[in-house]
């Protein structure tokens, strides 16, 4: 029963993006970009993962954090939970990095 409960919960992966990734005017666009990117990321493992992309205005905050039911997890705990879901954290990170690179590239084409 514990196994079913774990897989029924979705892990939240929170990613903070530097405004500078959108160029010198990034501060003016980062909020809108993050909102749009979050909607696109929702298609990545939607049954198991919930993605939240936020601007990283405070560099002291980590670039990435993990949560389950509002409880913060360490990267090791998230890795173990993701493994129980049949996923690999490194693969998800590679996929999210590639998606972000594509979205930033698309953003620059709209300027």
Distance of CA 9 to the CA centre of its chain: 16
> Does a structural domain hold residue 97?
yes
Task: Convert the pLDDT of each residue in 82-106 to its tens digit.
Answer: 999 999 999 999 999 999 999 999 9
Beta bridge partners of 72: 67
At 29, list the tokens: 């666009």
> Does a structural domain hold residue 5?
no
> Does a structural domain hold residue 2?
no
> Does a structural domain hold residue 88?
yes
Task: Convert the pLDDT of each residue in 5-59 to its tens digit.
Answer: 444 689 999 999 999 999 999 999 999 999 999 999 999 999 999 999 999 999 9
Rounded Cα distance, 66 and 77, in Å: 9
Q: Is pLDDT at 77 greater than 80 in this prediction?
A: yes
| Total domain count, the chain | 1
**pTM of the complete model:** 0.86
Structural domain of 32: 11-110
What pLDDT is attached to residue 110?
80
> Does a structural domain hold residue 19?
yes
* Helices 89-109, 75-84: inter-axial angle, 10-degree rounding: 100
What pLDDT is attached to residue 8?
61
Identify which has the larger pLDDT, 1 or 62: 62
> Does a structural domain hold residue 103?
yes
């Amino acid at each position: 029963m514990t196994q079913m409960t774990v897989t029924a919960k979705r892990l939240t992966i929170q990613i903070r993006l530097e405004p500078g990734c959108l160029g010198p005017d990034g501060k003016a666009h980062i909020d809108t970009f993050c909102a749009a990117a979050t909607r696109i990321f929702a298609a990545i493992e939607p049954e198991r993962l919930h993605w939240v992309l936020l601007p990283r205005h405070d560099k002291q905050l980590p670039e990435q954090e993990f949560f389950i039911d509002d409880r913060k997890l360490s990267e090791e705990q998230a890795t173990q939970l993701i493994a129980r879901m049949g996923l690999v954290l490194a693969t998800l990170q590679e996929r999210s990095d590639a998606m972000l690179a594509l979205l930033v590239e698309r953003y620059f084409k709209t300027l």
